[in-house]
Structure 1
Amino acid sequence: MQTAARNPLKFVSYLEKHRIYELFQELSTMLVIKKPEDHLLFLKQSLHHAARRLDVPRIIILSQPGCDKLQLAGTLREQLQIPLITLNDITCYIASGNGSIIDNLRIILMNYMSSNYDGWILVDFPRNEKEARELLRAGLVPTHVIEIDGTRVGCDSSAKFHHHREIKGIRRVFTKSFFMETVNMNEPIDKVTAQCLNSFDRRNYSRAPTTLRILLIDFANGETFECLGSSIAKDFNVTFIDFSQILEQTSLQENSLGDELRKLKLETDSDGLPSRVKTKVFEHFLLQSGDLAEGWLLTNFVSNVEDFKNLDLTDFPPNRIIIVANGVTDNQSDTTLISNSATICTCDDTINLQSQIKEYAGKTGFVVESRDDPKLVEEQIQSYLVLPPPCVPPRTPRAQPDIESEDAEFDPDDQPGVEALQCLRRPEPMLPLI
């Protein structure tokens, strides 16, 4: 009964890792907006399109009169490789044909979509609350709204008052559902661009169930940060797991896993345990202790990248990665303590290991410097954990093996390939996805 009760949590972690909830939310949104007659055909044809849209931002840039929004928009277009559409582009399209602004915007986006562009940057539109609601009703749903603030050139008081009145209505439409960011164009353009790009990795919280599974990789030197993990776990009401203690407790148990650990300890020290054994011990602890539903924070587990990758291969991979970087330099001593592996490593080894961990974690990892004040480090981690998780593809601990055609087995009972049946089927009508 206990195993049956806990199995759904394993499924939740899989759905969360591959963002299945977000995918079905995207599909449902497209379905209720389009209301196609054949809903199954629409879902079939829009599945790959919806999956691509999860990783591509759809951006609206709003600015006060006189702000140089095109400079920021052009920089973002170069960085993201997605089309930039201004209100002037839409009105020029209207001049050559008929239809409303929304209708012509949809035509422009469909032309870009035929060239495999799923994201877009929209500047100067919508101009008021009414146009914002029409945009959503037409299925043109943004993921991020950037509001530009800064020096206004040649802006009179009446234009400023009109802008503030209209922007309030636009905020009412977008604030609750989409990620909004305010940037100051008085800052250097590189800094503003970096702020925007960082925000594009995040979305508003979805309604999908989630459990905090935090991996804390601590490279800090000394005892200053020893209580960091337990303090954060207490703040977020999750179970604090010190793997070194779990390893010691498991080695005292009278079972096959305990016997294996005791045998390995005779052959090597505790820090030289194979990654697969450490992963097995951690999984065994979670299943026995029932700490899955409340969430957990794990520390003192990762001593190399292989440990990290094996942890990702479990049924309960971490969904928040916190790296407390050592910040070592060449002027420091030849040895430095890595607290999460409890071993003394050379400075070069520490730098290389930190680089490998950061490279594998990618945008899913949050890095803080241990040279900062411990209270400041804790506050930075807390601010990271209260935000939605990064909207980035999952980490891939193992490359998918390529299957050679000569290695594929043939089964006479296999169903014929789809290509063989194409000539017998009535061709499907291609449905517009925008």
Structure 2
Amino acid sequence: MDATHRPLVVPPRLGLYAEEKRLFRLMQVMLEGLMIHKPEDPIGFLIELLMLDNDDTPRILLLGPPASGKTTLAMWLSKHLSVPWLSQETLLASDWSSLTASAQEFQARKEEIPEDLWAQLLEERLKLPDCLHNGWILEGFPETRDQARSLQAAAIIPRHVVVLYAPDTVLIERNLGKRVDPHTKEVYHTTFDWPPDKALQARLVPTEGSGEMGTARRLLAYHRNYYGTLQSYGSTMKLINADQPCADVLAQVLRHVEAPPPSHAPVSLRILLCGPPGAGKTLQAALLAQKYGIVNVCCGQMIKEEVADGSKLGELMKPYLDNGWPVADNMVLRMLSQRLNQWECHVRGWVLHGFPRDEDQARAMLLADIRPNRVFFLSISADIAVQRLSYRRVDPITGERFHLLLRPASQREVHERLRQHPRDTEEAVRLRVERHQRLSGGLEAFFQGVAPTALLNADQDPQTVFEYIESYLVQPPTISAGP
């Protein structure tokens, strides 16, 4: 930023830097912390928050009815994510806090532990280093709306709330066969997960309240309080059917909790279309630019315009164009950098096609700060490329384009004067496709470490291809500094 000129203009590169470093997300987290905790020393609080660097750590609530598999799932998640596993039982298992004795007294008198005491106990536990730095998984709590409100009042806000569900008949059948290892606390089942070890079988014991009537009473209490909890976490809850194999349930939960958090940060589309000649890159770029208002950047067209304008860069490019040689990479990158680093492209976004053609050009493009956040590879066979390009014709009088198979001229006199571009002969098209396949072999693997990539079959209706591209655009981009 140049402070010597007025008005001050923010360089477009700063927007790309803010997106790569997730500055918007960082500011959002800091503001949320100030609003939730209301610290007396805001600056000191923010410094401590930044030093923790725990914005991406898991904070998961795992809820569900009895026998839905919460304990087993929490144990697996804890091992997989390397985070502490918390539950009402683990919070009361030892005298790690002065509040534990108070809670144990309520439990000894068979009285219900107050919601505020649970919240204070959990708040102290979450302030320990393992939870601060690694995150946490809280299983089976809160069970009521009052408990959920107590957690919210104590500023215990989960990132993900996973709720398991299954028919009551299935849950009762599961609970009747549930057995627990008193040494390891691992859960087994007489039908679905019976251990082969005879010694382990001998020491397994039924869980408390695993009878049919006890399970029915617990299910009734759960259903009575479920909707109160739903009102507290309705917008962030993920419902998962527990009436399926445990491995499938775990995979769905992991997919949910490992997904990047939603962000309201403004992100401009920076789309790169790659593919052989005839794949439809120009058409798809035009459709994207028309629908989303992004800047359509065709590398080949820009080179022709630069030469036609007679600029200094165009004069350097003209000999290459006149002799049919590829324009030098440094000239192309200079031209693209000037265009894509303009304020319009940073605000509206862009779609680029025609460059890069090989891995060396792709690396040079990243070094020039041209970084796409979506990359699409349109794939067609050489025969389809020949069919699409070798049948193209142009009317030399009107300049209108036709295709002998897909869009023939309606009038005979127009058809008779149509001409074929020398580049569209079958031999020329096959040479271009062969050159593309030879040079672009490493592009897909290269861009996989830079941005989300997708390989699309372009041998179908253009509107279908466009719909596939749109389905990938709604996914949040992966921010990467590149290889």
* TM-score between both structures, scaled by the size of structure 2: 0.64
Q: Which residue of 1 aligns with 2:301?
A: 245
**1:280-291 map, 5 Å:** 280-286=334-340, 290-291=344-345
Establish whether residue 357 from structure 1 lines up as the match of residue 447 from structure 2. yes
Alignment check: 8 A CA contact 1:82 1:117 kept: no
Q: 2:63–2:162: 8 Å Cα contact kept in structure 1?
A: yes
**Is 1:386 matched with 2:474?**
yes
- What is the rounded CA distance, in whole Å, between the counterparts of 1:189 and 1:36 in structure 2? 43
Query: Is the alpha carbon distance of 1:62 and 1:235 closer, same or farther for their aligned partners in structure 2, counting shifts above 3 Å?
Result: farther
Structure 1 residue aligned with 2:138: 122
Find the counterpart in structure 2 of residue 40 from structure 1.
43
> Aligned residue for 1:16?
19
What code does the residue aligned with 1:344 have? E
Retained in 2: the 8 A contact 1:251–1:258? Answer: yes
Contact 1:239 1:295 in 2 (8 A): yes
What's the offset of the Cα at 1:47? 1.1
Deviation string, structure 1 residues 134-164 (Cα, Å, up to 9, x no partner): 3233232222222334464218777666545
How does 1:181-200 map onto structure 2 within 5 Å?
Answer: 181-199=238-256, 200=258
Query: What is the distance in 2 between the residues matched to 1:133 and 1:299?
Result: 53
Is 1:323 aligned to 2:376, yes or no? Answer: yes
Question: Does structure 1 residue 153 correspond to structure 2 residue 160?
Answer: no
Number of residue-to-residue matches in the alignment: 375
Confirm or deny that 1:344 pairs with 2:434. Answer: yes
Q: 1-side partners of 2:324 and 2:83: how far apart? A: 53
Note closer, same or farther for the CA distance 1:55–1:349 as it changes in structure 2 (3 Å cut): farther
Answer yes or no: is the 8 Å Cα contact 1:239–1:296 preserved in 2: yes
- 1:165 to 1:119, Cα distance in 2 relative to 1, 3 A: same
Q: Distance in 1 between matches of 2:93 and 2:436?
A: 64
Query: What is aligned with 2:101?
Result: 97
How much does 1:244 deviate?
Answer: 2.8
* Aligned alpha-carbon RMSD (Å): 4.1
Alignment of 1:215-294 (within 5 A): 215-219=271-275, 222-223=278-279, 227-262=283-318, 269-270=325-326, 273-274=328-329, 276-286=330-340, 290-294=344-348
2:148 counterpart of 1:132 = yes
Amino acid at match of 1:395: S
Q: 2:109 maps to what in 1?
A: none
Deviations 1:105-159 (A, max 9, x none): 2332233437x73322222122233333332332322222223344642187776
Using the aligned pairs only, state the percent identity. Answer: 21
Residue 422 of structure 1 is matched in structure 2 by none
Q: Distance in 1 between matches of 2:31 and 2:343?
A: 37
- Please report how far the alpha carbon of residue 8 of structure 1 lies from its aligned counterpart in structure 2 after TM superposition: 5.8
Segments of 4+ moved more than 6 angstroms: 155-158, 346-349
1:344 to 1:63, Cα distance in 2 relative to 1, 3 A: farther
Paired letter, 1:353:
L
CA distance in 2, matches of 1:233, 1:188: 45
Deviations 1:237-269 (A, max 9, x none): 323333332233234332233234346667994
Cα pair 2:60 2:137 within 8 Å, conserved: yes
Select which of 296, 302, 325 maps to 2:356: 302
Q: Helix, strand or coil: the match of 2:93?
A: helix
Give distance in 1, aligned partners of 2:156 and 2:147: 11
SS in 1 for 2:172: coil
- Structure 1 residue 20 displacement after superposition: 0.9
Contact 2:19 2:267 in 1 (8 A): no
Partner of 2:86: 85
Counterpart of 2:482 in 1: which secondary structure? Answer: coil
In structure 1, C-alpha distance between the alignment counterparts of 2:310 and 2:65, rounded to whole Å: 70
Superposition deviation, residue 299 in structure 1: 2.8
Q: Which structure ranks higher in relative contact order (CA pairs < 8 Å, sequence separation ≥ 6)?
A: 1
SS at match of 1:147: strand
Compared CA separation, residues 173 and 383, structure 1 to 2 (3 A): farther
Give the letter for the 1:154 counterpart.
I
Give the secondary-structure state (helix, strand or coil) at the position aligned to 2:272: strand
Aligned-partner Cα distance in 2 for 1:227–1:165? 57
Q: Secondary structure of the equivalent of 2:297?
A: strand
Q: Is the 8 A contact 1:128 1:166 kept in 2?
A: yes
The answer to whether the Cα contact below 8 Å between 2:379 and 2:456 also exists between their aligned partners in 1 is yes
Aligned to 1:395: 480
SS in 1 for 2:138: strand
User: Are residue 170 (structure 1) and residue 260 (structure 2) matched?
Assistant: no
Contact 1:212-1:295 at 8 Å conserved across structures: yes
Deviation at 1:15, TM superposition (A): 1.7
C-alpha contact 1:149 1:184 (8 A) present in aligned 2: yes
SS in 2 for 1:153: helix
Aligned with 1:290: secondary structure? helix
More deviation in 306-315 or 210-219?
A: 306-315
Pick the structure with greater CA Rg: 2
Equivalent residue, structure 2, for 1:413: none
Distance 1:302 1:190 in 2: 42
Distance, in Å, in 2 between the alignment partners of 1:88 and 1:173 is 23
Cα distance in 1 for partners of 2:318, 2:250 equals: 54
List gaps (5 residues or longer) in structure 2. 104-116, 174-214, 389-428
Native 8 Å contact 1:53 1:118 kept in 2: yes
Which residue is equivalent to 1:404?
none
Contact kept, 8 Å, 1:63 with 1:149, in 2: the verdict is yes
Distance in 2, matches of 1:53 and 1:311, equals: 33
Q: Is the 8 A contact 2:166 2:243 kept in 1?
A: yes
Q: For residues 373 and 137 of structure 1, what CA distance do their matches in structure 2 show? A: 55
Q: What 5-or-longer segments of structure 1 have no aligned partner? A: 399-434
* In 1: Cα distance, 2:37 partner to 2:27 partner: 15
Alpha carbons of 1:227 and 1:4: their partners in 2 closer, same or farther (altered >3 Å)? farther
Q: Cα offset for 1:165?
A: 5.5
Cα distance in 2 between the residues matched to 1:40 and 1:72? 39
Q: Deviations over 1:258-297 (max 9, x none)?
A: 2343466679943x742x5444322322456834332222
1:109 to 2:129 alignment: no
- Given that 2:274 and 2:378 are in contact with CA atoms closer than 8 Å, whether structure 1 keeps it comes out as yes
Tell me the SS of whatever aligns to 2:27.
helix
Q: TM-score, normalised by structure 1?
A: 0.70
Alignment equivalent of 2:262, drawn from 178, 193, 204: 204
Residues 280 and 161 of structure 1: CA distance in aligned 2, closer, same or farther (over 3 Å): farther
